[in-house]
A = this chain, B = another copy of it.
Amino acid sequence: MTELRQRVAHEPVAPPEDKESESEAKVDGETASDSESRAESAPLPVSADDTPEVLNRALSNLSSRWKNWWVRGILTLAMIAFFFIIIYLGPMVLMIIVMCVQIKCFHEIITIGYNVYHSYDLPWFRTLSWYFLLCVNYFFYGETVTDYFFTLVQREEPLRILSKYHRFISFTLYLIGFCMFVLSLVKKHYRLQFYMFGWTHVTLLIVVTQSHLVIHNLFEGMIWFIVPISCVICNDIMAYMFGFFFGRTPLIKLSPKKTWEGFIGGFFATVVFGLLLSYVMSGYRCFVCPVEYNNDTNSFTVDCEPSDLFRLQEYNIPGVIQSVIGWKTVRMYPFQIHSIALSTFASLIGPFGGFFASGFKRAFKIKDFANTIPGHGGIMDRFDCQYLMATFVNVYIASFIRGPNPSKLIQQFLTLRPDQQLHIFNTLRSHLIDKGMLTSTTEDE
Looking at the complex, which one of B26, B178, B253, B425 makes contact with A352 (CB distance below 8 Å)? B178
Q: CB of A201 within 8 A of chain B?
A: yes
Complex Cα spacing A400 to B166, Å: 11
Q: Collect the chain B residues with CB atoms within 8 Å of residue A423's CB.
A: 406
Please choose the segment from A46-54, A148-156, A189-197, A232-240 that sits at the chain B interface, where 4 or more of its residues have CB less than 8 A away.
A189-197
Q: CB of A356 within 8 A of chain B?
A: yes
Q: CB of A396 within 8 A of chain B?
A: yes
Q: Collect the chain B residues with CB atoms within 8 Å of residue A198's CB.
A: 195, 198-199, 201-202
The number of times this chain is found in the oligomer is 2
Q: CB of A56 within 8 A of chain B?
A: no
The distance from the CB of A358 to the nearest CB of chain B, in whole angstroms, is 9
Q: Collect the chain B residues with CB atoms within 8 Å of residue A202's CB.
A: 197-198, 201-202
Q: CB of A28 within 8 A of chain B?
A: yes
Chain A contributes a number of interface residues (CB within 8 A of B) equal to 87
Residues of A within 8 A of B (CB): 18, 21-23, 25-32, 164-168, 171, 175, 178-179, 181-183, 185, 187-188, 190-191, 193-195, 197-199, 201-202, 205, 252-254, 349, 352, 355-356, 359-360, 362-364, 388, 391-392, 395-396, 398-400, 403-404, 406, 409-410, 412-418, 420-425, 427-429, 431-432, 435, 437-438, 440, 443-444
Q: Collect the chain B residues with CB atoms within 8 Å of residue A410's CB.
A: 424, 427-428
Complex Cα spacing A396 to B425, Å: 28
Complex Cα spacing A281 to B185, Å: 40
A422-B413 CB under 8 A given contacts A25-B191, A185-B254, A362-B187: no
Shortest Cβ distance from A354 into B: residue: B182
User: Across the interface, do B415 and A194 meet the contact criterion of CB distance under 8 Å?
Assistant: no
Looking at the complex, which one of B165, B352, B364, B428 makes contact with A179 (CB distance below 8 Å)? B352
Shortest Cβ distance from A197 into B: residue: B202
User: Across the interface, do A359 and B406 meet the contact criterion of CB distance under 8 Å?
Assistant: no
User: Across the interface, do B28 and A164 meet the contact criterion of CB distance under 8 Å?
Assistant: no
